[in-house]
Structure 1
């Protein structure tokens, strides 16, 4: 099943709490994620039908016109597979045999989620997890697996998108079992 998401990231926690309260009182959406990301940042991810999500998005755009709400990052992502949403901060369970492993590191979590959706739609690899809110700088990381050529092509495809939030893109061919058993993200 496909979902529409609105991804909200706040540069201060109190604004995030105020908007979270408004959302729960005024919009018929599901809260997928509501969490502190790092000191001073807060994230909310909502899902629902296209009309309700678009209504919420218009409300957020209206709020951003006001001085006290100008530091909200928002993105609308339509047609996201429900299984991808379940991979947010999912503990990594590697397949029995990992052919090649790809990792994309972003300066924010919103772009990581948006790119993971792109990868699911456009590449023959499997997204294993989307780690959000990593470290002091609120990074996002997408980890995916597939055959060597598919992982390499996916890394190149994402690099060619020239996403300004992309920090690093790596592929590891035939990762060692000791590496995989000790891998923590």
Structure 2
């Protein structure tokens, strides 16, 4: 059995993104995880399936959407925590240090999140996707300081530096910060 994988596309055109998504889902057995306008004129599409199907639609999407794609990512063997976070608001309470990671695009942010979680023994505390934050992705993880440091490093290494707005580590967060983070 192949591991679950996802593909994420951010289209600069809602109509073109819808057209390309229709082509992709007709091409291989994939499911729509997210399909929504994330800010004026931008469409976010996330599809999941086995690695071969996702790779097929990733190639098709990049070809058919050429010139209309702001960012895209293919993530093989994605952590279940990431899929759950994309489809619900259930997160873990913070324990220990906090790590915050902010990206220019959602596709790169999801890739960084998956690598961050794989890079350390961390809990995902919060995931913010685009709405009201100009198409950005911000996530917060928690754990031991060394795990947070290693996780954020793994996230940084997974994406282009130009896609990263900032990363921060709060070693001992104040209770008021924890109240507003969750």
TM-score by length of 1: 0.83
1:99 maps to what in 2? 96
Instruction: Pick closer, same or farther for the CA change 1:170–1:90 going to 2, 3 Å.
Output: farther
Cα deviations by residue, 1:147-180 (Å, 9 ceiling, x for unpaired): 1232234335545666211111111122222222
Long gaps (5+) in structure 1: none
Q: Distance in 1 between matches of 2:151 and 2:118?
A: 11
Determine the C-alpha separation between the residues in 1 that align with 2:133 and 2:142: 27
In structure 2, distance between residues paired with 1:60 and 1:160: 25
1:78-126 per-position Cα deviation (integer Å, ceiling 9, x unaligned): 110223211127536452x621111000011111100111112222222
Root-mean-square deviation (Å): 2.4
**In structure 2, the residue corresponding to 1:164 is in which secondary structure?**
helix
Instruction: Return closer, same or farther for 1:148/1:136 CA change in 2, 3 Å cut-off.
Output: closer
Q: TM-score, normalised by structure 2?
A: 0.84
> Residue 86 of structure 2 aligns to a residue in which SS?
coil
CA distance in 2: counterparts of 1:75 and 1:169, whole angstroms: 20
Distance 1:53 1:169 in 2: 29
The question of whether the paired residues in 2 share the 8 Å contact of 1:112 and 1:140 is answered with yes
Matched, 1:43 2:40: no
* Cα 1:129/1:110, change in 2 over 3 Å: same
Please, which of 113, 116, 124 is the counterpart of residue 116 of structure 1? 113
